[in-house]
Structure 1
């Protein structure tokens, strides 16, 4: 398929996923590295309470909150 035809399909809102090879696709800056952090017990309890309220794992709350704070610092 020519690039122009591909672009037209995309611009028209057509599903173009069948034309893509995503087997080696990567999201930039999304590589993961495991880290260990020690928190005071009250922090863990507060995180657990918020995670339960949101219906998500504790790790999700920590990741989102840290990412939001880092984003704020960038601006």
Structure 2
């Protein structure tokens, strides 16, 4: 399948593109994860937990979302 045909099939949402991709080895460049440890004071953890509960998401998701928003602002500013 040529790139132009592949792009058209993808844009049209056709399932036939799956046969041309090895999804088991697919990668998202720049989005690989690495584990880090951060120590927070108790009051921050409590505040994060309250916000996570309010949003119905995990504490880690709150931290990731807030950091991503702040870093994105830094790129624009």
TM-score range (shorter-chain normalised) is 0.7 to 0.9
Q: Does 1:41 align with 2:42?
A: yes
Q: Which runs of 5+ in 1 are unaligned?
A: none
Query: Do structure 1's residue 66 and structure 2's residue 67 form an aligned pair?
Result: yes
Whole-Å Cα distance in 2 between the matches of residues 5 and 56 of structure 1?
Answer: 40
Q: State how far apart, in whole Å, the 2-side matches of 1:2 and 1:20 are.
A: 13
TM-score by length of 2: 0.79
How far off its partner does 1:33 sit? 1.5
Flag the 1:64–1:9 CA change in 2: closer, same or farther, 3 A: same
Q: Which structure carries more helix by proportion?
A: 2
Structure 2: state its 5+ residue gaps. Answer: none
**1:22–1:52 distance in 2 versus 1, CA, 3 Å:** same
What SS does the corresponding residue of 1:23 show, helix, strand or coil?
helix
